[in-house]
Amino acid sequence: MINNYTFPLIDKDEPICQRAKLDTGTFCNYECSFCYYIDRLHEKTDLDVVKQRVDYIYECGIREVDLSGGESSVRTDWFELLDYCKSKEMSVSTVTNGYKFADHDFMKKSKEHGLQEILFSVHGPNNDIHDLVVGRKGAFKRIIKAIENAHDLGILVRINYVVNQHSYSLTDEFVCMVDQVKPYELNFLTLNFFGSANEYLPYKLSTTHIKHCIDIVDVPIINVRYVPYCYMEGYEKYVCNTFQHIYDRYDWNMAVYDQRIDPEVYKKDPLDALYKQAQEDRKRMYYKPEQCKGCKHLLICDGLENVVHDDVMPTEGPVVKEINHYRKEYYAKV
């Protein structure tokens, strides 16, 4: 194993992520098989606690929030929470399983209270797979209906897709589903061990599926998260790992995640705060086997998660030193 404390050059010109996760608690009405919080889905978080988190984000100078649970929309005070974010003049998105938003009136009212964008969690291309993964019959039909409602109301649609053991071989069926729902952004997530998630699909299987999908789907923005570069040869511009995440416009600002940093410290130099957090995250969660030493992506690649032992396939060539070597102005082009 080699030292994983070497880092890429920071990009001072590219806009950084200006969106924060607003943690609304772990309470959820679904039971996704890979959920980090599977033992805490019954827990409820008081609105006053969530409002304090809104205040912290506001104090950091961030005006975009992504409401994330659990399932935020099943809170009984959902509209009050939206109103509070709206009172701060915040742009509001939410991550959702789509259950509540299958009701057109509920989505319409949510928009009236400030919801502008939705990141839908779709984890299978059909009823059988998606319903199995999320632990609820009828879930796929509900999320498809919710996406239709969002389009009808002019709410921006994005998709998170966890590539799992049940879906990785259903590439063509998945592409048909994406063509139907027409997202603005598609995030492929390879299963990882950041929390209590206990499922894993080897990179070779997940990335074969992902690359095939990329070749076919027509989506403005595509991100592939948490995967070594050597498994994405020819598709490097889509890889968004720890350091590329600094510049990911639609994801979460990791420096302010879980109130990690004093707002005044963050505001003095947000880019520096994000870069230091990326360094810390890489050192804490990843390692590189000895074979990585000669890889051109040594600096920009995280390597393997600490508990993963997949093979690596070093790519020959001059060492890539810049974080955004493949993703420079990626968002400006869409």
Question: If DSSP codes are grouped into helix, strand and coil, which group holds residue 132?
Answer: helix
pLDDT digits (tens, 9 = 90+) for 177-217: 999 999 999 999 986 655 444 567 889 999 999 999 999 99
- pLDDT over 60 (residue 88): yes
- Determine the pLDDT at residue 198: 56
pLDDT for 226 equals 87
What pLDDT digit, counting tens, does each position of 37-80 carry?
Answer: 888 999 999 999 999 999 999 999 999 999 999 999 999 999 99
* CB distance 325 to 243 below 8 Å: no
pLDDT band at residue 239 using 50, 70 and 90 as cut-offs: very high
Phi/psi for 309 (5° steps) reads -130, 35
**Which residue reads 């319903």 in tokens?**
131
SS3 call for 118? strand
CB-CB neighbours of 216 under 10 Å: 13
For 301-304, which contacts have Cβ atoms below 8 Å and span 24 or more sequence positions?
301/228, 301/229, 301/230, 301/241, 302/4, 302/226, 302/228, 302/241, 302/242, 302/243, 303/4, 303/228, 304/228
Q: Give the whole-angstrom CA distance, residue 183 versus residue 1.
A: 40
| Closest C-alpha to 299, from 4, 8, 2, 3 | 8
**140 contacts: CB under 8 Å, gap ≥ 6:** 124, 126, 127, 129, 130, 131
Q: Which two tokens stand for residue 87?
A: 């009172």
Residue 269's pLDDT is 98
Q: Strand 239-240 vs strand 286-287: parallel, antiparallel, or unpaired?
A: unpaired
CA distance 94 to 111: 11
The pLDDT, as a whole number, for residue 196 is 42
Residue 234's region, left for phi above 0, alpha for psi from -120 to 50, else beta, is left
Identify the bridge partners of residue 162 per DSSP, sorted by sequence position.
Answer: 189
For residue 225, pLDDT over 80 is answered with: yes
Q: What is the pTM of this model?
A: 0.94
Count other C-beta atoms under 10 Å from residue 82's C-beta: 23
* Average per-residue pLDDT for the chain: 94
Residue 5 has pLDDT above 90, yes or no: no
Is residue 224 within 8 A of residue 240, CB to CB? The reply is yes
8 A C-beta contact, residue 15 and residue 64? no
- Is 93:118 a contact under the CB 8 Å cutoff? yes
Cα 287 from Cα 172, distance rounded (Å): 34
Q: Are 292 and 268 in contact (CB under 8 A)?
A: no
State how far the Cα of 333 lies from the Cα of 331, in Å rounded to an integer.
5
Q: What is the spatial distance between Cα 48 and Cα 12, in angstroms, rounded to a whole number? A: 37
Q: Does domain 19-219 have CATH number 3.90.79.10?
A: no
